[in-house]
């Protein structure tokens, strides 16, 4: 039974252009109407409706909207075959026009949802269906290759394996099918009968025509866009690109993909860091794009939480900033946090260079970035640590740091993994941003420059704290292993892996600094 004042309509059917029927449920106020429709399409079963992070559809109905939640093609009760990234444009555009004609709709449709539901919206919006008024694509990477399946050329192994296992299990009506991120070769991680999309993704490790055909045309989107960026979300870099490409309104905060909370690895970032501001801004966005509310002030299109200082407003993301360059130096022994690596504001002599020995079969535990304590990992000598002196004044970072690593390797390919760490007495050594890059065509006699864009953050580094930049050649299982051999990472078995020696010649860090 729905909450008081809300009517729940089950089993609405929409026929697509090829005759496939998709099934949806609806919630709308029990009196009045018609209303604008908030449409969500998802592959996880329409009863879920993004409620792990977003209010239930009945909550939006009590705010004067009708809500329609549809099973994607081949999922739930909908007919057809599910093909990730392939059918969402045509199905989404057709569903928008169908929803506009429902008896309780006033002809206006706004799409909403996060994660895959966000990406599905972008495919549909790029087709410019006439009834569409706005898109709320939250915590969403707009590129199924960079930032979704791969990051800097490295397979995002835990996410890809889990997501494939979850979808495959739901198709079978079970829990996620068994998977093993430690399996070698990686192509066996989901057993002997992996879902077809998993096989295809591993077969296309480069950004080729396969991925180009699955990339939404963001330039074609002509309606307002709203998004949510989480600093610890695996899709944060993609969400930042979405904001830039569509001039999206946004709320940015220190959240993981789900849940959207304020505690990370035992550290509470404070009650004001929570997500209630998202729900307020989201409803305001819905009200505005359907003509019920005024435009948001130009200087407040982005609301973001600067960790350590609270909420702020800006005209765009990243907010206005300058770029401050920091450089690394050592006497050739920057290995581990106990070594002699130093991070200096401005220019410095890089020293003789530092040597990393990378064993593909040895794990480097921890998330890519999640505010985890890196101290134990930094005790290892297969990570270079460059640490600043204690800050004499606060440094406020707002945007995506960029690390430039100049290195050579004795193998034909290797990875470069960079982590930005905030060192404090109170919280230890906490990862606040990071990035990775897969490097190919290495000549041991030539040092190549690798530019790694780290994930976006807004962070106030207080006086007395220190910045540390960690550089390593692996971060498995957060990313797949590089075998350092001629075998592809997906097909490499344990005997195909080779130890690599990387010589790091220079390291520079460009920090986007918000003026105080």
DSSP 317-379: SSPS-EEEEEEEE-SS--BSTTS--EEEES-----S-EEEEE-TTS---S-SSSS-B-TTGGG
Residue 427 confidence (pLDDT): 81
> For residue 146, what is the DSSP state?
B
How much is the pTM?
0.95
**What residue spans define the domains of the chain?**
6-147+217-314, 154-204, 322-513
Measure the CA–CA gap between 225 and 239, rounded to whole angstroms.
12
> For residue 312, what is the DSSP state?
E
Instruction: Give every CB contact of residue 40 below 8 A, 6+ residues apart in sequence.
Output: 49, 50, 57, 67, 68, 69, 70, 111, 112, 113, 117
Measure the CA–CA gap between 139 and 113, rounded to whole angstroms.
9
Residue 240 confidence class, pLDDT cut points 50, 70, 90: very high
Q: What is the pLDDT of residues 367-379, one digit of tens each?
A: 888 899 999 999 9
Spatial contact of 440 and 413, defined as CB atoms under 8 Å apart? yes
φ, ψ for residue 59 (rounded to 5)? Answer: -65, -45
Spatial contact of 383 and 472, defined as CB atoms under 8 Å apart? yes
Give the mean pLDDT of 44-64. Answer: 95
Measure the CA–CA gap between 434 and 43, rounded to whole angstroms.
30
Residue 230 confidence (pLDDT): 97
Residue 1 confidence (pLDDT): 66
Strands 132-138 and 66-71: unpaired
What is the three-state SS of 87-100?
Answer: CHHHHHHHHHHHHH
379 token code pair: 């005790």
Spatial contact of 76 and 17, defined as CB atoms under 8 Å apart? no
Measure the CA–CA gap between 116 and 85, rounded to whole angstroms.
9
Q: What is the pLDDT of residues 372-422, one digit of tens each?
A: 999 999 999 999 999 999 999 999 999 999 999 999 999 999 999 999 999
Query: What's the longest Cα–Cα distance across the chain?
Result: 75
pLDDT at 474 over 70: yes
Measure the CA–CA gap between 473 and 480, rounded to whole angstroms.
12
- The closest of 158, 121, 170, 118 to 139, measured between CA atoms, is 118
Q: What is the pLDDT of residues 187-218, one digit of tens each?
A: 999 998 899 999 999 999 999 999 999 999 99
Spatial contact of 442 and 498, defined as CB atoms under 8 Å apart? no
φ, ψ for residue 118 (rounded to 5)? Answer: -70, -45
Q: Three-state DSSP class for 496?
A: helix
Residue 82 confidence (pLDDT): 93
| CATH top-level class of 6-147+217-314 | alpha beta
The dihedral of CA 311, 462, 393, 387: what is its sign?
negative
φ, ψ for residue 133 (rounded to 5)? Answer: -110, -25
Residue 85: how many CB atoms within 10 A of its CB? 21
Residue 293 confidence (pLDDT): 80
> For residue 432, what is the DSSP state?
E
Residue 322: how many CB atoms within 10 A of its CB? 9
Give the mean pLDDT of 174-185. Answer: 86
Give the mean pLDDT of 95-113. Answer: 98
Residue 451 confidence (pLDDT): 97
Continuous segment of H or E residues that includes residue 172 = helix 157-172
Residue 219 confidence class, pLDDT cut points 50, 70, 90: very high
Residue 36 confidence (pLDDT): 98
Residue 291: Cβ-neighbour burial (10 angstroms; 0-12, 13-18, 19+): exposed
CA distances from 103 to 77, 134, 360, 405 (A): 22, 20, 59, 59
DSSP string for residues in 241-266: HHHHHHT-EEEEES--SSS--SEETT
pLDDT at 170 over 90: no
Measure the CA–CA gap between 271 and 273, rounded to whole angstroms.
5
Residue 283 confidence class, pLDDT cut points 50, 70, 90: very high
Q: How far is CA 214 from the centre of its chain?
A: 17
Measure the CA–CA gap between 298 and 244, rounded to whole angstroms.
15
Strands 150-151 and 154-155: antiparallel
| CATH top-level class of 322-513 | mainly beta
Continuous segment of H or E residues that includes residue 106 = strand 105-114
pLDDT at 299 over 80: no
Residue 332 confidence class, pLDDT cut points 50, 70, 90: very high
Mean pLDDT of the chain, nearest integer: 94
């Amino acid at each position: 039974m729905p909450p008081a004042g809300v009517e729940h309509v089950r089993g609405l059917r929409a026929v697509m252009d090829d005759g496939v029927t998709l099934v949806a449920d609806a919630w709308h106020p029990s009196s009045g109407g018609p209303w604008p429709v908030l449409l969500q399409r998802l592959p996880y079963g329409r009863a879920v409706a993004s409620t792990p992070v977003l209010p239930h559809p009945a909550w939006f109905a009590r705010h004067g909207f009708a809500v329609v939640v549809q099973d994607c093609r081949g999922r739930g009760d909908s007919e057809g075959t599910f093909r990730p990234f392939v059918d969402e444009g045509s199905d989404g555009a057709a569903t928008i026009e169908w929803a506009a004609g429902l008896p309780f709709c006033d002809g206006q449709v706004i799409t909403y949802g996060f994660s895959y539901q966000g990406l599905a919206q972008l495919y549909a919006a790029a087709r410019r269906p006439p009834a569409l008024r706005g898109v709320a694509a939250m915590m969403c990477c707009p590129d199924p290759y960079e930032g979704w399946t791969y990051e800097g050329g490295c397979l995002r192994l835990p996410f890809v394996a889990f997501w494939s296992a979850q979808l495959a299990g739901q198709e079978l009506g079970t829990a996620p099918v068994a998977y093993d991120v430690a399996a070698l070769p990686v192509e066996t991680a989901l057993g002997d009968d992996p879902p077809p999309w998993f096989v295809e993704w591993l077969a296309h490790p480069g950004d080729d025509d396969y991925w180009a055909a699955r990339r939404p045309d963001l330039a074609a989107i002509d309606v307002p866009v709203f998004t949510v960026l989480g600093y610890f979300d695996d899709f944060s870099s993609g969400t930042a690109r979405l904001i830039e490409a569509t001039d999206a309104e946004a709320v940015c905060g220190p959240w993981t993909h789900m849940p959207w909370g304020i505690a990370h690895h035992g550290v509470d970032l404070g009650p004001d860091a929570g997500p209630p501001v998202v729900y307020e801004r989201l409803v305001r966005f819905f009200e505005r794009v359907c003509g019920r509310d005024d435009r948001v002030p130009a200087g407040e299109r982005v609301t973001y939480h600067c960790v350590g200082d609270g909420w702020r407003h800006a005209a765009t993301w990243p907010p206005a900033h300058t770029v401050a360059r920091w450089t690394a130096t050592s006497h050739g022994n920057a290995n581990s946090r106990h070594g002699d690596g130093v991070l200096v504001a401005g220019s410095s002599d890089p020293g003789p260079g530092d040597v990393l020995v990378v064993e593909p079969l040895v794990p480097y535990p921890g998330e890519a970035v999640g505010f985890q304590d890196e101290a134990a990992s930094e005790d290892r000598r297969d990570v270079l640590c460059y640490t600043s002196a204690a800050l004499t004044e606060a440094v406020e970072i707002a945007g995506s740091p960029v690390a430039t690593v100049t290195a050579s390797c004795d193998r034909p390919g290797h990875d470069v993994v960079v982590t930005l760490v905030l060192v404090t007495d109170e919280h230890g050594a906490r990862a606040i941003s990071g990035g990775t890059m897969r490097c190919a065509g290495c000549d041991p006699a030539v040092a190549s420059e690798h530019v790694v864009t780290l994930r976006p953050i807004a962070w106030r580094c207080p006086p007395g704290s220190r910045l540390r930049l960690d550089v390593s050649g692996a971060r498995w299982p957060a990313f797949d292993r590089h075998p350092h051999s001629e075998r592809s990472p997906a097909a490499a078995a344990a005997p195909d892996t080779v130890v690599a020696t990387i010589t790091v010649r220079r390291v520079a860090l460009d920090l986007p600094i918000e003026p105080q």
